[in-house]
A and B are shown apart, each in its own frame.
Chain A
Amino acid sequence: MSAQPRDTGLDGAALDAALASVWSARPGLLGWFTTVDHKAIGRRYIATAFLFLALGGVLALLMRWQLAQPEGRLLGPDRFNQIFTMHGATMMFLFAVPVMEAVGVYLVPLMVGTRNIAFPRLNAFSYWVYLFGGALLWIAFLLDMGPDVGWFAYVPLSGPQYAPGKRADIWAQMITFTEIAALAVAVEIVVTVFKQRAPGMSLDRMPLFVWAMLVTSFVVILAMPAVVLASTALILDRLVGTQFFNPAAGGDVLLWQHLFWFFGHPEVYIIFIPAVGMVSTILSTFCRRPIFGYTAMVLALVSIGLLAFGLWVHHMFTTGLPRLGESFFTASSMAIAVPSGLQIFCWLATLWGARPRMAVPMLYVLAFLFTFVLGGMTGVMVASVPLDTQLHDSYFVVAHFHYVLIGGAVFPLLGAIHYWFPKLSGRMMSERLGRWAWGLVFGGFNLVFFPMHILGLWGMPRRVYTYQPELPWAGLNLFSSLSAALLALGFLLFFWNAWRSARKGEMAGPDPWGAPTLEWATASPPPPWNFSRIPVVESVSPLWDAPGELKVATGLRLDRRELVLTSVMAAEPEARDSSPQDSIWPFLAAIVTSVMLIWSIFSPWAVVWGSIPVVAALILWFWPRGTPEDES
C-alpha cells in the first residue's frame, strides 16, 4: 500500500504532469473513439444536438415556404407529412432533450467539483447510441422512408393497417435509441450529484443548475418507461401481429395516447427544467448576487417535476373523456403555473435594482422572460377544457408551444452557450455578433409565431400541407413565412459566431464573468482531470465567498483515476474511488446494439440473434483486466 503515489507532497506542474499521465485520452483517432472524458463527450453531444437543430430548422423553413401561399406547390402531401413529422421528432428527440442532457453531462461534474461523471463508459455508450439513432432517422428520411405519422404517432394511423411500409417502425425504433441514451445520462447525473459532490457541498449548497439537472434526471427515469412500453407495443402490433391498439380485437386506441402523453408531457419539462437552471445561473452571475429565494426555487423545481406527471390528459381534452376527470386535469395543468410563477417572481426580485451587466447571455434571459411568460399565459388557456376545445390542434397551439419551447428553453440555451462558451472552448464568443444574432432571433421568433395565435383562432388546423385561397389565412401565413427568414438569419449568425469564436475568439481565462460556481475555479477549457485538487465548499457561491484560494482536499492517489465520494445529504467525504479508464467497448457495444435494433425493424428474430453480439460486447466491456480501477 505504501507504494501508491499520493498528491500530498506535489504541487503545480509536477502534480499536473502526474495527473495528465493517468487522465489524458490516447492521442489520435483511437483516443477519439475510446475517451470517456465527460467534457469531450459533452462537447460532442452538444455539437451533434445543434447539428440536429439546424437540420430541423431547415425542415421548418421548407414548411414555411410551402405554407407561404395557398395551394403551395413546393411540397406534396406525402413529403410534407414526412417533413412535419421529422421536424417534431428531430427537435424533440434529437435536439431538445439531448442538448439539455448534454449540457448537464458537460457541466454537472464541473459544478459539483468532481473529476468525471459517474459511469463514464455508459456516458460514451449513450452518446454513440444517440448518434446512431439520429442517423437512422435521417438516413431513412433521405431514402424517402422517413416517418409520416406525426411525432406523436397516434394509432391506428401508425398501426399496421394504415401505415404500411417501414416508416412508422423507423420512428418507433428511433424512440428506443433516444430512450436508451437519455436514461443512461439520467442515471449518471443522479449518481454524480448524489455521490460525487465536492466535500462540503451539502444539498442546500448545490448550484440551482445542478438541482435542475437532478430533477430533470428523475423525470427522465420516471417518464421514459411509459414511451418504452408504448413504442414496444406499437412495434409488436406492427411486426408480430399483437393487437394492443386494435379496437376490433379488444385493444384500445386511447391507450396509446395515455401512454404517449404520460411520457410526452413530462418530456416538455425535461426540456424546460434545465433551461430554468440556466436562467438562474446566468441571472445570478450578471446581477452579481445570489438568486433570491434559493429554497423556494428548489422547491419550485421539485414541484414542477412532480406536477409534470399529473397533467398529461390536457393533450386529450377533445377525445371525449368524462367531464369530471377533465376538470381535474384542468386544475392540475393550471396548478403548474404556481411554481413557474414563483420562479419568475424570484427572478424579478433578483433583478430588482441589481443593474445587471447587459451581456448577450443576460439579453437571452430577458428574451426568455418576455417570451416564456407569454407562452405560459397561453398555456393556462389551453389548460382550460372549454377553451381548449377551440384551441386544440389549431395553429394557436403551434404558437403556444413554440413560445414555451423556444422562448422557455432555446433562448436560455443560446444564452447558456454564450455564457459557458469560454469554459467549453477557452475563448469568448463575439459580443457584437452575439447582439445582432440575439436581435434577429428574438424579433424574428415573435414575428414568425405570434400571428399563428390568430391563425388558430381563425380556424386553421395544424399539420395541413396546404389551404385553399378562399380561406382568410394567406396574409398572416405569408407574413410568418417571410419573418422566418429573419429567424433563420439570426441562427446562422449564432452558428457563425460560435464557429469563428472557437478559433479566433478572445482568450477567456478561468473565470471571465466573475461567476460564483465551481466550474469557474479551473482552467478554460478544463484539463482532463477537471480539478488538480478536489475543492472543498463552504457556501452556495464558493467563488464569491472564498476569494483568493479555495480550500482543497488532498491525499488522492496518482496511479489511477481517483475521485472522492461523499455522502448524499451533507457531502461529507466517505471514500476515494476510482473512475474507469478509456475503452473502445462502449463504442463497439453501441454498434452491435444499433445493429440489433435496426435489424429488429425488419425481423423479430433480430432480438434473438442480435442480442448475442450485444451480450458478447458487454462481457468484454466489463471483463477484469487487472487495471488499478478493478481494485475494490
Chain B
Amino acid sequence: MKEAAQSALAPGGAEAATLLALFWPVVALLGAIWLAVLLVAALGLWRRPGQPRRPGWPVGVATAGTVLVIIGLTFASYLATRPLSAAAEAPLVVQIQGRQWWWQVAYPAEGDAPGFTTANELRLPLGRQVRLELAAGDVIHSFWVPNLAGKQDLIPGRDNALLLTPREAGIYRAQCAEFCGLQHARMALLVMVQPAEEFARWRAAQAAPAAEPALAAEGRRVFEARQCSACHTVRGSTAKGSTGPDLTHLASRGSIGAGLLPMTRGALAAWVADPQTLKPGNNMPLVPLSSDELQALTDFMALLQ
C-alpha cells in the first residue's frame, strides 16, 4: 500500500505519470532560459562601456529561438494530451456528483455486480482504466486527485468525464479545486486503489443492504424517527433521504464529513452532536439528542460496516 501525500509529484497512476514526464523537462528547459536571461543581464551590466555594437542579430536569434521553443512546447503539450483521452475497451464507470460540500459516488451495475451509491470515498481496482462521469448537484466543483490525474470540473448542466488508470495500490487524497462556497476547504475525498479481488469483495459488500445487528436496534429507531432519515439513506431501513450522503456502509469508509475527520466512534459522535462547529455552514443541522440517544445512534452508525 502506498500512503502517498497529496502531490502531483508522486504519481500513482498512468495519467499523472504522463503529466509528470512532461513537467520536469519543461521545468528544466524554462529554468535554463530564465537563468540565461539573468546571466545575459548580469554580463551586460558588468561589461565596460565600449564601442556600441549592433546588437540586432542576437535579438533576432533570441526571438527566433523563442518561437522555436514555443512551437516545440505546443507540440509536446498536444502529444501529452492524446493518451489522456484514449479510452480503453471497457473501463470501470463511476458517477461522481459534487455537492456543497461532499461527493456522491455511484457505481452503476456492471455484469452480475449490482449498482450502489456511497459518498466521499472512491475505491478503484488496480490497473483497470476508470471512466469518472462528473456532474454537479449545485454549483461548480472540480475533481482533483493529483497523484492519479489532472483535474476536471463538475459543472451544472454539463456532463464531463475523466479517465484514470491507477498503477499503484494505495490511498490518495482528492480535494475540490474550484471554489464552491463556504466549506470549499472541507470537501475532500479518499481514493483507495486496491487489487482487483479486494475491490470485488468491497463492491459486493457495499451493494448489500445494511447489516442488522441486534445491538443497534435502539440506534436504528432513533435514526429512523429523528431528522436523520429525512436526508440520509440507509439501505435496509426506512431512511431514504437523498439530500445527504448515503450512509448504508458508513463505518467502512476511511473518514467522515468529506475528509474532515478519521472514521472513529468518537468522531462520529462528535460530528452528530455538533456538525456546525466542526464544519460551519454545512447543510447538516444540529439535531438535539439526549445523551442516551446519541450513544445509541453512534452505536448504530459504528456498526454500519
Contact = CB atoms under 8 A, between A and B. Distances in A.
B178 to A, nearest CB: 6
Contact of B177 (A366, A377, A394): A394
Contact of A253 (B43, B157, B180, B181): B157
A157 B139 contact: yes
Contact of B77 (A247, A318, A330): A330
A393 B151 contact: yes
A140 B189 CA distance: 35
Contacts of A378: 30
Given A351-B45, A458-B5, A463-B184, A380 B151 contact: no
A254 B177 contact: no
A390 B150 contact: yes
Interface in A322-350: 323, 326-327, 330-331, 334-335, 337-338, 341-342, 344-346, 348-349
Q: How large is the interface on B (under 10, 10 to 19, 20 to 34, 35 or more residues)?
A: 35 or more
Contact of B73 (A345, A380, A459, A462): A380
A390 B151 contact: yes
B49 A386 contact: no
Contacts of B129: none
B182 A254 contact: no
Contacts of A341: 62-63, 66
A388 B37 CA distance: 25
A471 B157 contact: no
A622 interface: no
Interface in B3-52: 5-9, 16, 18-19, 22-23, 26-27, 30-31, 33-34, 37-38, 40-41, 43-45, 47-50, 52
A462 B185 CA distance: 9
B121 interface: no
B59 to A, nearest CB: 4
A392 B177 contact: yes
A387 B26 contact: yes
A320 B139 contact: no
A555 interface: no
Interface in B121-165: 138-140, 142, 144, 146, 149-153, 155-158, 160-161
B70 A459 contact: no
Contacts of B27: 381
A318 B19 CA distance: 14
Most A CB contacts (10 A, CB to CB) among B67, B74, B259 go to B74
Interface in A215-249: 247-248
A161 B181 CA distance: 12
A377 B31 contact: yes
A389 B149 contact: yes
Contact of B156 (A78, A156, A335): A156
Contact of B178 (A248, A327, A349, A393): A393
Contact of A393 (B37, B67, B142): B142
B85 interface: yes
A154 interface: yes
B85 A323 contact: yes
A351 B150 CA distance: 42
Most A CB contacts (10 A, CB to CB) among B18, B47, B151 go to B151
A331 B71 CA distance: 8
Contact of A293 (B19, B38, B59): B59
A355 interface: yes
A384 interface: yes
Contact of A472 (B5, B8, B34, B76): B5
B220 interface: no
B213 interface: no
B81 A342 contact: no
A254 B19 contact: no
Contacts of A337: 66, 69-70
Contacts of B151: 318, 389-390, 392-393
A384 B73 contact: yes
Contacts of B30: 377-378, 380-381
Given A292-B55, A393-B151, A373 B34 contact: yes
B181 A162 contact: yes
Q: How large is the interface on A (under 10, 10 to 19, 20 to 34, 35 or more residues)?
A: 35 or more
Contacts of B44: 348, 351-354
A327 B44 CA distance: 37
Interface in A125-152: 149-150
A442 to B, nearest CB: 14
A230 B33 CA distance: 39
Nearest to B63: A342
Contacts of A296: 59
B114 interface: no
Contacts of A338: 63, 66-67, 70
Given A348-B41, A471-B6, A342 B156 contact: no
B266 interface: no
B182 A77 contact: yes
B138 A156 contact: yes
A162 B37 CA distance: 48
B48 A353 contact: yes
A77 B77 CA distance: 37
A466 B30 CA distance: 32
Contact of B37 (A331, A344, A468): A344
Nearest to A381: B26
A335 B176 CA distance: 31
B155 A81 contact: no
A546 interface: no
B55 A349 contact: yes
B118 interface: no
Contacts of B53: 352-353
Given A334-B74, A389-B152, A77 B183 contact: yes
B76 to A, nearest CB: 8
A346 B8 contact: no
Contacts of B195: none
Interface in B59-95: 59, 62-63, 66-67, 69-70, 73-74, 76-78, 80-81, 84-85
Contacts of A510: none
A353 B84 contact: no
Contact of A457 (B8, B22, B77, B184): B8
B179 interface: yes
Contact of A323 (B22, B63, B81): B81
Contacts of B73: 334, 380, 384
B136 to A, nearest CB: 9
Contacts of A76: 280
A35 to B, nearest CB: 43
Nearest to A78: B182
A381 B38 CA distance: 19
A330 B74 contact: yes
A356 interface: yes
Contact of B176 (A161, A254, A461): A461
A62 interface: no
A46 B35 CA distance: 35
B182 A393 contact: no
A471 B281 contact: no
A48 to B, nearest CB: 29
A523 interface: no
6 contacts: A154-B140, A156-B139, A293-B59, A369-B37, A369-B41, A472-B6
Given A384-B76, A392-B177, A457-B9, 10 more contacts: A154-B178, A162-B139, A338-B66, A341-B62, A341-B66, A342-B63, A352-B44, A353-B48, A373-B34, A457-B146
Interface of A: 76-78, 81, 149-150, 154, 156-157, 161-162, 247-248, 252-254, 289, 292-293, 296, 318-320, 323, 326-327, 330-331, 334-335, 337-338, 341-342, 344-346, 348-349, 351-356, 366, 369-370, 373-374, 377-378, 380-381, 384-390, 392-394, 457-459, 461-468, 471-472
Interface of B: 5-9, 16, 18-19, 22-23, 26-27, 30-31, 33-34, 37-38, 40-41, 43-45, 47-50, 52-53, 55-56, 58-59, 62-63, 66-67, 69-70, 73-74, 76-78, 80-81, 84-85, 100, 138-140, 142, 144, 146, 149-153, 155-158, 160-161, 173, 175-185, 259, 280-281
